[in-house]
Amino acid sequence: MEKILNIVNGDAPIEIMKKAGIKGDFLPWNDFLHEGPVPAGFTLEQLSKIRANFISELNFGTFKKIYKDFQQRDKTLNSFKKYEKVILWFEHDLYDQLQLLQILSWFEEQNLEQTNLTLICTDSYIGESSVDVIQKILRYESKVLPEHLKLAKKAWEAFGQPTPEAWFKLLKESTGLLPFLQSTIFRVLEEYPNTKCGLSRSEYQTLMIISNGIENPEDIFVKYQSFEERKFMGDILFYKILEDFEKYNIVTTPKKIKKLTLSPLGQKLLNGEENWLNIKPLNRSIGGVNLNMKNLWCWDMEKHNIKQYYFSKALNSLLLVK
C-alpha cells in the first residue's frame, strides 16, 4: 500500500476525512498566519518559535506547549521522504491559502525526486463537508509542478517583507497557477488600517453590523461570517475585536447583559469623524510588516491602493508620506 502523508489546515477536517476513507497519516498545520509576525528570512523552525511566542501572548496556551506542538509538526514535515506521496489539502480562504504558501515555499527548497507532491484545493470547506463531498473532491487532485513552487515562494517571501509593497505588486502579476492567490493578496491588504477611519476591514464591518442593531456577540460573529466572501477568522480571534471595542468605549454594554450597542464615539468612528489610530495605540504585525505610528501603511478602500502615511493627531487625519 502506498504510504501517504495528508497535510491539512488544522485538526477539524481530520475526523470527517477519515470517515470518507482517506488513507494515510495526517499532519494538521494549525497556525493562523494572517495575524501576527511572519517575517521573511527565517527557517521553518525559527519561524515556529516566533509564531509560538506570539500565539502564547494571545493566551491561546503556554509557549512551551505551543512550541512543542510546532516542533512535532515540523519534525513530521521534515520526514516527508519516508512517504511516497504527500497530498496538500487546502481550502480557498485566507487562513488556508497563507498556510499553503508557507508549505509550498518550504517544499521549493527540498529534493522532491522521490516524492509525489500533489494538491487538492477547491472552494469547499473540508471540515464542513460530508463524506460524499470529500470523496468527490479527490477528483481535483493535481500534481504540484516546479512553477507552483516558484510562485508560492515568491509570494511567501513578499508576505514576509517589512513593507507591503512587494505583496501589493503581486496583484498586477500573473498568479493563475494558484487560483486563489489574488483574492488572498487582496484580503490581506484589506486588514491594514483604512484611510477613512483607521479600521481594518474586519473591524469596520463588525462595527457596521453592530450599528445595524445586532447586539449579541454570537449573532454578530455569525453575521460577520456572512460578510466574508471566504470565511477565514475563528470566533476566538473575532471576539478580541469586540473586546477592543468595549475597552475603548466604541461600543457599550449594560451590566450583566451581553448586548453591544454603538456608542457616540463609535458612531463618529464609523462616520469617519474620528480615527481608530487616535484611539487605540497601533502595534500590529501583518506578515513581515510591523505596523506602528512610525511605520504606518493604510489601505484605500475606494482606490484599492496601499501607501505609507503618518497620522497627525492635531488634524486627526492621515497625511501621505511622499
Q: What is the pLDDT of residues 93-149, one digit of tens each?
A: 999 999 999 999 999 999 999 999 999 999 989 989 999 999 999 999 999 999 999
Flag whether pLDDT at 254 surpasses 80.
no
Flag whether pLDDT at 294 surpasses 90.
yes
pLDDT of residue 56: 97
pLDDT of residue 200: 98
Q: Which residues contact 120 (CB under 8 A, 6 or more apart)?
A: 87, 88, 89, 90, 137, 138, 140, 141, 142
Q: What integer is the mean pLDDT of 83-97?
A: 97
Return the bridge partners of 310, or none.
Answer: 319
- Report the distance separating Cα 45 and Cα 58, nearest Å: 20
Question: What tens digit of pLDDT does each residue of 194-240 get?
Answer: 999 999 999 999 999 999 999 999 999 999 999 999 999 999 999 99
Residue 258 — pLDDT band, cuts 50, 70, 90? confident
CATH 3.40.1360.10 holds for 4-161: yes
What does DSSP say about strands 25-28 and 4-8: parallel, antiparallel, or unpaired? parallel
- Report the distance separating Cα 182 and Cα 175, nearest Å: 7
Question: What tens digit of pLDDT does each residue of 50-65 get?
Answer: 999 999 999 999 999 9
pLDDT of residue 255: 65
56-60, 255-259, 261-265, range with the lowest pLDDT: 255-259
pLDDT of residue 119: 98
CA 296 to chain CA centroid, nearest Å: 20
Q: Which residues contact 293 (CB under 8 A, 6 or more apart)?
A: 277, 281, 282, 310, 311
* Alpha-carbon distances of 128 from 162, 170, 223, rounded to whole Å: 36, 31, 18
Q: Which of 222, 201, 229 shows the shortest CA–CA distance to 286? A: 201
Is there a contact between 27 and 7 (Cβ–Cβ < 8 Å)?
Answer: yes
* Alpha-carbon distances of 191 from 146, 185, 223, 283, rounded to whole Å: 31, 10, 18, 13
Return the bridge partners of 289, or none.
Answer: 286
Percent of residues, the chain, with pLDDT higher than 90: 94
Question: What tens digit of pLDDT does each residue of 174-204 get?
Answer: 999 999 999 999 999 999 999 999 999 999 9
DSSP string, 195-221: TTTS--HHHHHHHHHHHTT--SHHHHH
- Report the distance separating Cα 234 and Cα 125, nearest Å: 14
pLDDT of residue 153: 98
Mean pLDDT of the chain: 95
Is there a contact between 105 and 152 (Cβ–Cβ < 8 Å)?
Answer: yes
Is there a contact between 85 and 104 (Cβ–Cβ < 8 Å)?
Answer: no
Flag whether pLDDT at 252 surpasses 70.
yes
- Report the distance separating Cα 213 and Cα 203, nearest Å: 16
Percent of residues, the chain, with pLDDT higher than 70: 99
The DSSP letter of residue 84 is S
**Which one-letter amino acid corresponds to residue 253?**
T
Instruction: State the Cα angle at 285 between 12 and 161, rounded to 5°.
Output: 100
pLDDT of residue 313: 87
pLDDT of residue 95: 97
pLDDT of residue 256: 63
Question: What tens digit of pLDDT does each residue of 150-165 get?
Answer: 999 999 999 999 999 9
Q: Which of 143, 115, 140 shows the shortest CA–CA distance to 129? A: 140
Flag whether pLDDT at 29 surpasses 70.
yes
- What is the Cα Rg of the chain in Å? 21
Instruction: State the Cα angle at 56 between 288 and 231, rounded to 5°.
Output: 65
pLDDT of residue 315: 85
pLDDT of residue 316: 84
- Report the distance separating Cα 27 and Cα 16, nearest Å: 14
Is there a contact between 158 and 235 (Cβ–Cβ < 8 Å)?
Answer: no
CATH of the domain spanning 190-320: 1.10.10.10
Q: Where are the domains of the chain?
A: 4-161, 190-320
